[in-house]
């Protein structure tokens, strides 16, 4: 008894692979790319998640303060010590909006959070940074 594959079997497998590739490649080419607004919202989400992680690791309150006009942020401990700062890149036509001049997200040592509402507005729509005050979960949702 001989082992191996016949030429017909190999050709059938190659035909199936070719048909699958022909169907998948155009779908991948149409995959949505992350726009500037979503990229900025995700950057905010990462800053807030890092602040929460720091609050849990150090067992101390940590706050993130934002300046909506410039996209600048500061992460500071309850004693006022700044542990991180930077800026969220706001491309042309993008802006942050909040009901308060300096929105803040305050993370407790047990992971809870209290914060202001923050919207990111751009040509492609709006994204809202939402926090679950009891679990400390942070997410960005289209608005």
DSSP labels for 17-86? HHHHHHHHHHHHHTPPPP-HHHHHHHHHHHHHHHHHHHHHHHTS-EEEEEETTTTEEEEEETTS-EEEEE
Tokens describing residue 128:
């809202």
* Residue ranges of domains in the chain: 36-142
**Residue 54 · residue 63 · CB < 8 Å:** no
- Quick: pLDDT tens for 99-110: 999 999 999 999
Question: What whole-number distance in Å separates Cα of residue 71 and Cα of residue 143?
Answer: 19
- Quick: pLDDT tens for 12-68: 999 999 999 888 888 777 766 667 888 888 899 899 999 999 999 999 999 999 999
Q: If one looks up domain 36-142 in CATH, what number appears?
A: 3.55.40.10
């Amino acid at each position: 008894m001989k082992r191996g594959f016949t030429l017909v079997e190999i050709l059938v497998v190659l035909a199936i692979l070719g048909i699958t590739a022909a169907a998948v490649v155009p779908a991948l080419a149409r995959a949505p790319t992350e726009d500037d607004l979503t990229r900025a919202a995700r950057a905010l989400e990462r800053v807030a998640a890092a602040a929460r992680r720091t609050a849990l690791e150090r067992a101390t309150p940590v706050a993130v303060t934002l300046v909506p006009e410039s996209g600048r942020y500061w992460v500071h401990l309850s004693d006022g010590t700044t542990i991180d700062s930077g800026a969220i890149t706001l491309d042309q036509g993008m802006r942050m909006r909040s009901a308060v001049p300096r929105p803040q997200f305050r993370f407790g040592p047990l992971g809870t959070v209290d914060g202001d509402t923050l919207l990111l507005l751009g040509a492609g729509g709006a994204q809202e940074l939402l926090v679950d005050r009891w679990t400390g979960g942070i997410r960005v949702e289209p608005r």
